[in-house]
Amino acid sequence: MIEKMTIWYDKALTLKCPFMRRRASDILDSLDYVLRYYLVQNPSLMGPPLAYRCIGDTCEKQFGLTVEELAEEIRKDWREETRKGYYITGKVNTAIYRDDCMFNGPDPDMPIRGLRKYLNAASQLFDPSKSVSELLSLKVEGRVVVAKWRMNGRLRLPWKPWMPEVTGTTTYYTDMNGLICLHEETWDISVFRAFLQTLWPEAGELIWGKRTGPELP
């Protein structure tokens, strides 16, 4: 059963529609929870929960980084030279994150617990050729790292909608080993506005004016 669950989860993460992919993985996460805590006498034999499982190189971790060193690793993930940061590509240095990292933010699909699950969602959401994710500033504030950014672009949904330009802040919190355990973002516009302008741009233009398109390199 454990092997079948892993196969099903891998297949769920290959679904093209972001909505269906998230729903399928959520169902399997729930089934994994039921098996782990109610039906299996020794849950440890099942290994980590499906959403937390590392794959290949993602299992290696960089323990003990100072917060300044961590900030520089985060900066690399933003790909400042191309403005194609990890919000667009889903590519990060997985060695600086806990596998069970919590990702939280205004998006209705959040929170997401699990590095594997988050990166899969991020890598499939935007069309990289028509989207930008730009780092505006990166600061160390005590024991946390705070990034300010802006992004916009085309979503990989059947009708290929444009996401309006959003400016936001992401705060990276670490555990005692120096790994990122909480990735928390805020937006400068409401969730209602972001989704109305994305899903019904004509109505959004009537209320807030014409959508700002991505400034591609």
pLDDT digits (tens, 9 = 90+) for 61-110: 999 999 999 999 999 999 989 988 899 988 899 999 999 999 999 887 78
For 12, the domain range is 1-53
Same domain for 200 and 166: yes
- Residue 214 in any domain: the answer is no
Residues 190 and 52: beta-carbon distance below 8 Å: no
Average pLDDT over every residue of 104-126: 85
Distance between CA atoms of 183 and 172, rounded to whole angstroms?
5
- Residue 135 in any domain: the answer is yes
Give Cβ neighbours of residue 35 (< 8 Å, ≥ 6 apart): 1, 5, 46
Average pLDDT over every residue of 44-67: 73
Question: Two tokens at 109?
Answer: 């699909």
Residue 43: predicted pLDDT:
54
Residue 216: predicted pLDDT:
47
- Residue 161 in any domain: the answer is yes
Same domain for 17 and 122: no
Same domain for 165 and 199: yes
Residue 70 identity (one-letter amino acid): L
CA dihedral 207, 204, 104, 98 (to 10 degrees): -140
Residue where a domain stops, chosen among 53, 68, 96: 53
Same domain for 69 and 125: yes
Average pLDDT over every residue of 18-45: 68
Same domain for 202 and 131: yes
Same domain for 40 and 144: no
The yes-or-no verdict on residue 14 having pLDDT over 90 is no
The full length of the chain comes to 217
Average pLDDT, the chain: 81
Same domain for 150 and 49: no
Same domain for 42 and 17: yes
Distance between CA atoms of 15 and 161, rounded to whole angstroms?
19
- Residue 139 in any domain: the answer is yes
For every residue of 122-180, which 3-state class applies, written as one string? HHHHEEEEEEEEEEEEEEEECCEEEEEEEEEEEECCCCCCEEEEEEEEEEEEECCCCCE
Give Cβ neighbours of residue 170 (< 8 Å, ≥ 6 apart): 146, 147, 149, 183, 184, 185
Same domain for 15 and 35: yes
Out of 15-19, 172-176, 209-213, the most confident range is 172-176
Residues 67 and 174: beta-carbon distance below 8 Å: yes
Same domain for 43 and 19: yes
Same domain for 176 and 69: yes
Same domain for 70 and 48: no
Domain count, the chain: 2
* CATH of residue 186: 3.10.450.50
